Amino acid sequence: MPAAALVGECLVPGTGSGDVLFSDVPLSFMGGVDPFTGMVTDIHHPLHGACVSGRVLVIPSGRGSCSGSGVIVEMLVHGSAPAALVFSHHESILTLGVVIARELFGPSIPVLRLAGDDFAALRGTASAAVTDGVVHAVGSVPPSAPDDVQQPAIPLTADDERILAGEYGEGARTAMRIVLEAARLEGATDLLDVEMGHIDGCFYQGPASLALAQRLAATGSTVRVPTTMNALLVDRRRWRDLGVSPDVGEPSDLMADALVTLGVQPSYTCAPYLLATRPRFAQQIVWAESNAVVYANSVLGARTMKYPDYLDLLVALTGRAPATSTHLPLARRATVRVDVDVPGALLDDALWPTLGYLVGSVAPHEIPVLTGLQDAAPTDDDLKAFGAAFATTSAAPMFHIVGVTPEAAGLEEATAGADVRVVTVDRADLTRTWAELNSATAEHVDLVSLGNPHFSLTECGTLADLCDGRRAADGVRLVVTCGRDVFEQASAAGHVARVERFGGTFLNDTCWCFLAAPVVPDSDAAIVTSSGKYAHYGPAAVGRGLYLRNLRDCVETAATGRIATPSSPWLQG
C-alpha cells in the first residue's frame, strides 16, 4: 500500500480486503472471466490465467459485452466474486451489476473510483482493504471518507409514483427503485421516457440469472414498451436434435419463457437493427448487447446508453431511463479523432472488423470519430462488423465516421467544434491487429463460423453466391447463425438452399459466443471466422485457436479444409 490511504468516489458502499490484482487494461467479465471459478479466460488480456475471486481487482473499467453485469451477479450469488472493485474511469456495466445483485439477492462488494495518480499508486501493491470509498492497508483503520455530495432528488411523474406504490406490480416497483439508484450512480438529475427495448440479459448464465427472470415474471408485471429479446444459449427449436445437454437447453428455455411472460417478444437475435421494428433517428430506446448499442447509436442515430444486463429489463418494466450518457446530445460528441491512412482501393470486408478492434483499443473509453473513409462507402454490413469489433475492445457506446454516420457530416459536427486528441492508424497498425486476432496455428480447419453478429439478408446472399458450384470439404462444417426473421427471408430468396447445397447449415436463436460442444466439436483443428468479435471471444469460449478471414477466404477454406492464404489487399508483409 502507498504510505497514505487513498480516498476515492464511493460507488457501492461496503468493506472488503485481499491481495491486489492490478491491470491498466480494461476487462470484459463476459467472455473474459469464468463466473464460477473467477479465472480470467480472455487470452488477449494481461491478466489471463489469474483468479479474481476474493481479490481487490484494480482495473480502469470494464469493456466489451453488456453481459458483464450478469457475470458479476452470478459471481456474487455463487461466492466467486472479487473482494472489491476499484476503477479509474466511469464504469456502468460492472457497478450496476453489483447494485442489482445487492437489491435482488443480497450479496454485495464495495466499488469505488480513484483518480488517475491514486489508481496508478496501486500498481505493485501486494494487498489492500476497501472501506466504502477508501483504499487502505489491511488491518488499519481507514480515515473518514468525505461526505457524499447530495444530488437533488430526481423529479417523479405521477405515473412514476404509482409504479413506486406498487400499482403496476411488485416487479415494476423493484425495477423503479433500481432505475433510480442507477440514475444516482450515473449522475442523472432526471428520468426520460423510452419507446422500445432490447433485452440482452435473456440467456442462461447460471442459477442466479434464471432466478432473477422467474422472480420478476411471478410478480405479474410486464414491460411497458415494445421489447425484443437477444440471442440465447441454444437454438430453441433444434437444441435436442443437435445433441445439446438438457442441463443447458432446459434452463435456457425456462429463462426465455420467463421473459415472454414479462411481455418480451421472442425475437432471439443479437442484431435487432435487422428487424422491421428497428428504431428511428433520435428515438429514445433502452438497448443492451454491445454491438446493438453501438449500431443503434452510431449508424441509426437512436439514443441509448450501454445498458448493463438486467437493467435493460428493469427500464423496460418502467418505461423510464436515467437521462444521462448518450441519451443526451452533449455526451454523443467525439473526443478522439482517428485518421485512417489506408488507400480506399485496398479495403475489403475483413478490414472493417480489424479496424473496429484496433479503434476500440486506441479509444477504450472515448467516442472516436474516424476520418479518411469518406470515399470508402461502407455498407451496413461493414458498419455492423466494425461496430461489433469496436464494442469488444472499447467501453464507449458509439463511434462516428466523417461523411458516413448520421451525426458526422463533418468533423466539426462530430466533435461539437472542440479540440480533440488525434491518433493515426495505417496498414502496419492494421496488420499487427489482424495478427493478434489470428490466434490459431493449425493449418487444418474443421469449422467455418459465420454470423457474429447475426448474418443479414445481404450477407446470406453474398455467401450463397460464393458457395455456388462448390462443395465443402469432407469433415469441414460451415455454420451460419442468424435471426429467425432473416432466416425466413433468406429461405424465401433461395439463399439458404444454395448454401445448404454447398454443405452449409444455419442456426437460429443463438450466438457463437455461447456455442460449445457438440455444436462446436472437440478438436485440435482451427476455426475460421469473418467476425472480429468471435476471433476475440472464441479462444476462451471453445479452447481453440481462430483465424480471421474475409468471407471469400472463409468459403475457400471450407472448400479445401485448409486455411486460405489471406487475400485482403490491405495486409502488409
End-to-end CA distance of the chain: 46
Edge-to-edge strand list for the sheet holding 336-341: 400-401, 368-371, 336-341, 421-426
104 membership: H or E segment, kind and range: helix 93-104
C-alpha closest to that of 202 among 155, 277, 246, 268: 268
Q: How far apart are CA 18 and CA 130, in angstroms?
A: 9
Mapped onto helix, strand or coil, the DSSP state of residue 350 is coil
Edge-to-edge strand list for the sheet holding 526-529: 504-507, 477-481, 445-450, 526-529, 546-548
β-strand partners of 422: 337
Kindly write down the DSSP assignment for every residue of 325-392, as one continuous string: GGGSGGGGS-SEEEEEE--GGG--TTHHHHHHHHHHHH-SSS-EEEES-TTT---HHHHHHHHHHHHH
C-alpha closest to that of 382 among 448, 462, 304: 462
Residue whose C-alpha cell reads 426520460 in the numeric block: 192
Residues contacting 572, CB < 8 A, separation 6+: 427, 428, 431
Mapped onto helix, strand or coil, the DSSP state of residue 177 is helix
Kindly write down the DSSP assignment for every residue of 543-569, as one continuous string: SS-EEE--HHHHHHHHHHSBPPPP--T
Identify whether the C-beta of residue 212 lies closer than 8 Å to the C-beta of residue 76.
Answer: no
Q: How far apart are CA 435 and CA 572, in angstroms?
A: 11
> In a 10 Å sphere around its CB, with 0-12 CB exposed, 13-18 middle and 19+ buried, how is residue 276 labelled?
exposed
Identify whether the C-beta of residue 56 lies closer than 8 Å to the C-beta of residue 130.
Answer: yes
Sign of CA dihedral 427, 432, 433, 438: positive
78 membership: H or E segment, kind and range: helix 68-78
Residues marked active site are found at 65
Strands 421-426 and 336-341: parallel
C-alpha closest to that of 11 among 82, 83, 109: 109
